[in-house]
A and B are shown apart, each in its own frame.
Chain A
C-alpha cells in the first residue's frame, strides 16, 4: 500500500524540465487512434459485441416499426417462426442433409484427386510443366457458367450437383497445393539428402510432413467456396436442397424462408470452418505451438 502511494507521488511530480514545444511527442493515453496500436482484449470483445447488437437493433427498428414492408424484410420473430415451420412441417432437415451430402461428396472427390496431383506438381517440375497451363486456364472459368453444359452432358441429377462442386474447387485446390509444396524450404531437402535420404525418401519424410498443415489450411479455405457453389447448383434445376428451397420460397413470396435458408448455409459454412480450424491446430502442435 505504502509502495503504491509512493509510486503515485513520484508520478505526480512535475517533469524536471518543461518541454517548450511538441517536438518530443505527446504522451499516449489513448491507443484507439494509434495506427496498429493494441487495445485491451476486453475492449476489443465489447466493440465486437456492440457491432452485432447495433445491426440487430437497426433490423428490429426497421421491421417492427413497419418502416420496411415485411415482404422485403420480415421481423426477427417472423424469421424465427419461418424456421420452426420449415423444420416441423416442410422437412427442412432433409434439405440440409441433401445439401451437406452434395458438398461433402463433391469436395471429397476434388481433394482425393487434387491434393496428390498438387503435391506431385509442387515436387516435380516436369509434372508441373505438363498440368499447370491447362489447370491455370480452367481455374479462371467460373464453375457456375458450366452448369448448362453439365446439364446437357449429365442431366439434372445428383451427379450434376456434385460435379459443379468438384469443378468449382478442384482446380484451385491443385494449384494452391502445388504452391504450398513448392515452398518447402530447400534447406530441409538438402539436410535430408546429407542425412542419407533418397529422392523418394525426401518426398515422403520431408516434403509431405512439411507441407501438410498448409495443405489442410487450403482445404479449409476452399471448403468455404464449396458452400457458395452448392447454392448456385441447387438454384438451377433442383427439387431438393437448401438452394432449391430458397428459389421455391421466392416464387411463393416467403421472404422469411429465404433469409432462414441463407442463414442456415452461413451457419453450416461457419461450423465446418471452425471444426477444421480446431482439428488442424490440434493435429499439428509443432506448427502452431501448444
Chain B
C-alpha cells in the first residue's frame, strides 16, 4: 500500500463578511485522499466551493478548520511543491514564453545552461517551439494556458493543481488541450487535481471524479473512472464513457437546480 500524496483532513471554510453574523459556510467538512500519480477531477456547479478546496490545497487560502498534508507533512501557505494553473491571464506579461517558464526555477540550484535546456524541454512538451520569444499578449488563449502548464510543471511540483484551466477557451481548443494534458500526465505520471464544471472534461481526464454539492460545498460522490490509457478522443462516444456521462449529469443536475433556486 502506497502512502497518499495529499490528504485533506476534515477541512472547512467559513467566509466572514464585514457585518456581524454574515458568515457563509463555503466548504463543509471535507475529506479527500489523493494517491501518487492519480488524476482527480472535481466536478461541481459554479459557486460550490470547488475552487476554495483547490486553493486551500494550494495554500492560497487558509482553511477555517482542518488540515492538509502533503506526503504526510502538514502544509502552511503556498509553496513551489504545489504548482498551480489558473483559469486565465496568470502569465507575467512582461516576460517572454521562455522567461515565464523559467520564472520558478531556482537560480542557485542550476546553471544557466541547465535552466535553458529544461525550459526548452517543456516548450517542446507543450508544443510551443518557435514561440520562445513571444510575449503572452501575442499568443492565443490556448497557447497562453500551455505556457502556464509548462511554467507550473518546470518547477517539478509534487502535485499540479488546475483551476478550470480550459474554462475560458473555445470548445475545439479545449478538446485539444485536454488531449495534450492527458498526454503529459501519461508521460510524466504527475499527481493532478483538476477543477471543472464540464462533465465530459471531468470523465475524459480523470481516474476519479469527485462530485461536489453546492452551498455548502461538500463531497457528494467519488466515482472511479475505469477507462484505459492512452485515451483517444474517440472514447467520448464509447458506451462506457456515455454511461459515466449519464450518471454524472444526473448528479450534477440536482446540484445545479438547487444552486439556481437559491438566493445569493
Contacts from A to B (Cβ < 8 Å): 185, 187-188, 190-196, 205-206, 209-210, 284-287, 289
B137 within 8 A of A: yes
The answer to whether B79 and A286 have CB atoms under 8 Å apart is no
Task: Give, as a whole number of angstroms, the nearest-CB distance from A207 to chain B.
Answer: 11
Residues of B within 8 A of A209 (CB): 92, 94
Which residue of B is nearest A191, CB measured? B90
The answer to whether A195 and B155 have CB atoms under 8 Å apart is yes
Task: Give, as a whole number of angstroms, the nearest-CB distance from B159 to chain A.
Answer: 11
Residues of B within 8 A of A190 (CB): 60, 78, 84, 86, 90
Residues of A within 8 A of B77 (CB): 193
Which residue of B is nearest A194, CB measured? B84
Task: Give, as a whole number of angstroms, the nearest-CB distance from A138 to chain B.
Answer: 29
Residues of A within 8 A of B161 (CB): 194
10 extra A-B contacts, CB within 8 A, seeds A194-B82, A284-B94: A185-B90, A187-B90, A190-B60, A191-B90, A193-B60, A193-B78, A194-B59, A194-B78, A194-B80, A196-B155
Which residue of B is nearest A284, CB measured? B94
Task: Give, as a whole number of angstroms, the nearest-CB distance from A119 to chain B.
Answer: 16
The answer to whether A194 and B58 have CB atoms under 8 Å apart is yes
Interface residue from A196, A206, A289 paired with B92 (Cβ < 8 Å): A206
Residues of B within 8 A of A284 (CB): 94
Docked Cα-Cα span, A192 to B79, in Å, equals: 9
B135 within 8 A of A: yes
The answer to whether A287 and B60 have CB atoms under 8 Å apart is no
The answer to whether A187 and B103 have CB atoms under 8 Å apart is no
Which residue of B is nearest A209, CB measured? B94
Docked Cα-Cα span, A210 to B93, in Å, equals: 8
B123 within 8 A of A: no
B233 within 8 A of A: no
The answer to whether A196 and B89 have CB atoms under 8 Å apart is no
Interface residue from A191, A205, A286, A287 paired with B86 (Cβ < 8 Å): A191
5 A-B residue pairings within 8 Å (CB atoms): A190-B60, A209-B92, A210-B93, A286-B95, A286-B137
Residues of B within 8 A of A196 (CB): 79-80, 104, 106, 155
Task: Give, as a whole number of angstroms, the nearest-CB distance from B96 to chain A.
Answer: 8
Task: Give, as a whole number of angstroms, the nearest-CB distance from B102 to chain A.
Answer: 10
Residues of B within 8 A of A194 (CB): 58-60, 78-80, 82-84, 152, 161
**How many contacts A-B (CB < 8 Å)?**
66
- What is the predominant secondary structure among interface residues of chain A facing chain B? helix
Which B residues between 78 and 133 are near A, CB-CB below 8 angstroms?
Answer: 78-80, 82-84, 86, 89-95, 103-104, 106
Docked Cα-Cα span, A209 to B83, in Å, equals: 22
Docked Cα-Cα span, A286 to B91, in Å, equals: 12
The answer to whether B86 and A187 have CB atoms under 8 Å apart is yes
The answer to whether A195 and B60 have CB atoms under 8 Å apart is no
Mask: chain B, 21-62; 1 = CB below 8 Å from A; 0 = not = 000000000000000000000000000000000000011100
Interface residue from B86, B104, B136, B137 paired with A195 (Cβ < 8 Å): B104
Residues of A within 8 A of B13 (CB): none
The answer to whether B93 and A287 have CB atoms under 8 Å apart is yes
Please provide the 5 A-B residue pairs with the shortest distance between their CB atoms, ordered closest to farther.
A196-B80, A195-B104, A193-B78, A194-B84, A187-B90
Interface residue from A195, A205, A286 paired with B93 (Cβ < 8 Å): A286
Docked Cα-Cα span, A209 to B92, in Å, equals: 9
Task: Give, as a whole number of angstroms, the nearest-CB distance from B47 to chain A.
Answer: 18
Residues of B within 8 A of A191 (CB): 84, 86, 90-92, 148, 151
Residues of B within 8 A of A289 (CB): 137-138
Docked Cα-Cα span, A208 to B251, in Å, equals: 46
The answer to whether B86 and A210 have CB atoms under 8 Å apart is no
Task: Give, as a whole number of angstroms, the nearest-CB distance from B71 to chain A.
Answer: 17
The answer to whether B135 and A286 have CB atoms under 8 Å apart is yes
Which residue of A is nearest B96, CB measured? A286
The answer to whether B90 and A195 have CB atoms under 8 Å apart is no
Docked Cα-Cα span, A209 to B91, in Å, equals: 13
Task: Give, as a whole number of angstroms, the nearest-CB distance from A290 to chain B.
Answer: 8
Docked Cα-Cα span, A210 to B103, in Å, equals: 14
Task: Give, as a whole number of angstroms, the nearest-CB distance from B163 to chain A.
Answer: 10
Task: Give, as a whole number of angstroms, the nearest-CB distance from B86 to chain A.
Answer: 5
Interface residue from A192, A285, A286, A287 paired with B103 (Cβ < 8 Å): A192
The answer to whether B89 and A187 have CB atoms under 8 Å apart is yes
Which residue of B is nearest A195, CB measured? B104
Docked Cα-Cα span, A205 to B105, in Å, equals: 13
Residues of B within 8 A of A285 (CB): 135
Docked Cα-Cα span, A29 to B90, in Å, equals: 44
| Most chain A CB neighbours (cut-off 10 Å) among B91, B92, B106, B151 | B92
